A and B are shown apart, each in its own frame.
Chain A
Amino acid sequence: MKKAIIFGYTKTGKEIAKLLNDDEFELEIIDENPLQVANANAEGYFARHISLDDDKIFEDIGIGGDVEALFCTSDDDSLNLFVTLTARNIDKDLKILTQIKKMEDEKKMLLAGANRTISPHSVGAAKIFRIIKKPRVSKVLDIFTRIDNKISITELTVDEGSLYDGMYFSSVDLSQTYNLIFLGLLDKKNDDEFVFFSKAIRHKIKAGDLMVMLGSRKDIKKFKMELSKKI
């Protein structure tokens, strides 16, 4: 099981915890505000209070060890920066995702070692903008949210030597065999660019890419087994 840490049980932190709270991730919440820690504990998460002046505590939590991902979601950009910097110092390969409140802080966060920054303001604004610009899309999306979580979207890594390594988009057909819809892939070598299936039929899948697909959990699990088989 992978381990993920959320720093800051804020509104964003809370929502991430909700989405992660399943059998795939072991979740731990840290916060320097005891009130938030108590909140998180009351809501059934494993949370602990940390003080930021001691680097040792980060190692105690498991950063540099088995922790795979760190979400810095404190409401204070400077605290996020501090935690990002400290964690990056300890573990070079840790996935760090940091929330920023001010867009000006993005560069700073990336310099400090965050893999990606995310701002509730710009994400929210982008969402509203799409509702305005493409009202039909939002309507369709509304339909899917109402259908709920039965169908979800998944990214699966293509390993070297896998069946799909080197395959063209046009020969991928998951819909018949696996009841999955192949949307496209995240090109790892190309700056995480998302290549839509609908747009690049002659695109070649390479090892390391992330295939993005849509389907029920059961079908996805089946496909995951298939994907990990080597030729």
Chain B
Amino acid sequence: MFAKLFISFAYFLDSNDRYKKIKSFIYDLLENPRSNIKTYFDFLIITLIFLSVAILIYDISHPTPFYFEFIENITVSVFIFEWLGRFWISADLGSMIIKYHEKMIELDQKPKFFKILKIILKQKLSYIFSPMSIIDLLAILPTYRAARVLRVFLIFRLFKIFRYTKSLNSFLRVLSDKKFEFNFLFLIGLFAIFLSSTIMYVVEGTGNNPHITSYLDAIYWSIITITTVGYGDITPVTLTGKVITVFLVGGGFLILVLATSIVTNALSEKIEILRENKLLTEAHKLSRLIVIFGFGRMGQVLADELKKNHKRFIVVDKDPASMAKARELGYLYMQADASNYDTIESLVFENDVEKVILLTQSDALNLSILLTIKAHDKNIEVIARSNSYANIKKFKIAKANHIVFPYETVAEVAVEYIGNPVKFDVIDNILIQDSDITLDGIDILEGSSFVGKCIDDLGLDDLNITTIAVLKNGNIRHFVFNPSHSEYEFEANDTLIVIGKEVYINRIGNEIRRQFA
């Protein structure tokens, strides 16, 4: 009975567009790393954190003005809203329940209320007890008057900042990679403290040193000494104590040096990865990104052109030397192995990618990347470089949108140079020289006033547009080369292929489209 209620509610939410809209908005606001509003919201939260901590500090020795209470209330409301929002979007319960229901239908069993409850509790409790959620809760908690003693916990709000600073997080991750070394050092330190404080207590705790009255004093002394802080409030008085101190200071120094070198080492090992992570996040935020696999000579020339034209792109190569070059040139880059699925996933599938360009030296690698991408999403446009003539066909089978075989293009340019008739493709190379002039198609849309007219009526000659051909019905098989300017009458859906100034061609195209506005 309850189970039925839950399931029908889940189905109801699943089909409710408004619910989904609100949920995705909240997701954009709180979690979606690619959304713009998240940046503003993060900024708001960080400001509130600092404000409330500043108020806490001011509070201690000043009378609090009334509006502080007001700010505090707003802060807490925002925090509560944030926590509830995250709690809501932490798991998609609706679809889980539906999945469970479908499974039960398949098994021909009745859905059990208990089981559904288990799903809900498991998901939501795991969120509540996640470290980030606990920090968030601790930041909210001290506001309740009953828990006013917990005011000091306000400082936990500072921990909330962890959520918003990626670099801090990655720094901690780097350190956690060196867990073994740190554990080792920690144990040695612990041992040294235990040993020295015990000796100290035995030697000087018997009354000859007035500052050491308990074992805790000895431990305090030991820690202050080993960390080379050395306040000097407790000093050894016996010879044995002094000898122990000298060794402890020496050992403490060694431990400190070792710890420093471990941190530096870990950082220098990981700094590349940290930097790349940063670049990758930057790439996440960009829309219509172009991803270039392979940063060889061709990749470099292309990247240079793209940069000049303010296109947004990221280059990927596993060769450290080429990636160093990319860094020097200030490009977004990632040093990664493109044969790895994760690389493609984090670069292509998780970004708003406009085009993917495959320029690696190996056709096998190019093909493998191409197939990985096309298997995931057929609509991502891929331009592939083929390094051998025999492989062009394979790229075609793998559905590359464009295939560039540089050696053939070079040969065309070369042969054109000595004046031999070549394929039409060469026009392409002529077009490189002049960016004003373009080759383009004009669609004669059905129902436009141009249908039934001829080329002369379009006024193409006045605009110096050269007509090359007409594709009947836009179909390349029905192709009329050099149609008569005064006799050929346009039919609906013809495509006119012309060469001329880009602005003029666009003008004609717009004129046709305007008739439908």
Contact = CB atoms under 8 A, between A and B. Distances in A.
Interface in B371-430: 383, 385, 387-389, 402, 404, 406-430
B422 A152 contact: yes
A29 B291 CA distance: 39
- What size tier do the contact residues of chain A reach? 35 or more
A167 interface: no
Contacts, number: 218
Contacts of A103: 297, 301
A153 B422 contact: yes
A45 interface: no
Interface stretch (B10-18, B231-239, B495-503): B495-503
A125 B431 CA distance: 14
B464 A144 contact: no
A124 B385 contact: yes
B416 A155 contact: yes
A199 B436 contact: yes
Contact of A95 (B417, B427, B429): B417
Interface string B462-503: 001111100100001001011011000000000001011100
A220 interface: yes
A126 interface: yes
A185 B417 CA distance: 13
Given A97-B418, A181-B468, A196 B411 contact: no
Interface string A183-222: 1000000000110111101000000001010111100100
A123 B482 contact: no
A71 B423 contact: no
Interface string A88-130: 0000000101010111000000000001101111111111111
B428 A132 contact: no
Interface in B405-461: 406-434, 436-441
B507 interface: no
A172 to B, nearest CB: 11
A149 B420 CA distance: 13
A159 interface: no
Nearest to B313: A132
Contact of A151 (B409, B424, B500): B424
Contacts of B407: 10-12, 14-15, 120
B439 A140 contact: yes
Nearest to A97: B414
B130 interface: no
Contacts of B439: 137, 140-141
Contacts of A68: 418
Contact of A183 (B298, B406, B427, B438): B427
A12 B427 contact: no
A36 to B, nearest CB: 14
Contact of A145 (B416, B424, B485): B424
A87 interface: no
B369 to A, nearest CB: 15
Interface in B230-283: none
B410 A118 contact: yes
A175 B481 CA distance: 10
B357 interface: yes
**Which applies to chain B's interface (DSSP): helix, strand, loop or mixed?**
mixed
Given A97-B417, A199-B464, A212-B430, A128 B383 contact: yes
A4 interface: yes
Interface string A39-71: 000000000000000000000000000001101
A151 B434 contact: no
Contacts of A183: 427, 430, 466, 499
Given A97-B414, A143-B471, A198-B501, A138 B402 contact: yes
B322 to A, nearest CB: 13
A123 B421 CA distance: 19
A1 interface: no
B69 interface: no
B411 A18 contact: yes
- What size tier do the contact residues of chain B reach? 35 or more
A179 interface: yes
Contacts of B428: 127, 130, 137, 141
A143 B476 contact: yes
B418 A145 contact: no
Interface in A5-47: 10-12, 14-16, 18-20, 24-25
B306 interface: yes
Nearest to B292: A128
B430 A123 contact: no
A132 B301 CA distance: 14
A145 B425 CA distance: 6
Of residues B301, B406, B425, B476, which shows the largest number of chain A Cβ atoms within 10 Å of its Cβ? B406
Contacts of B427: 141, 144, 153, 183, 214
B406 A124 contact: yes
Interface of A: 4, 10-12, 14-16, 18-20, 24-25, 68-69, 71, 73, 95, 97, 99, 101-103, 115-116, 118-134, 136-147, 149, 151-157, 175-176, 179-183, 193-194, 196-199, 201, 210, 212, 214-217, 220
28 contacts: A10-B407, A11-B388, A68-B418, A101-B297, A121-B300, A124-B409, A125-B301, A127-B409, A128-B385, A138-B402, A140-B439, A140-B441, A143-B471, A143-B497, A144-B425, A145-B424, A152-B424, A153-B423, A154-B419, A181-B468, A183-B430, A197-B464, A198-B464, A198-B465, A198-B499, A214-B427, A215-B482, A216-B481
The 9 closest A-B pairs by CB, nearest first: A124-B406, A15-B411, A125-B301, A125-B302, A11-B407, A144-B424, A121-B297, A120-B406, A152-B421
Given A120-B410, A128-B357, A134-B438, 15 more contacts: A11-B407, A99-B410, A120-B406, A125-B298, A127-B409, A130-B428, A130-B432, A132-B311, A136-B441, A146-B476, A156-B419, A198-B465, A198-B501, A201-B464, A217-B421
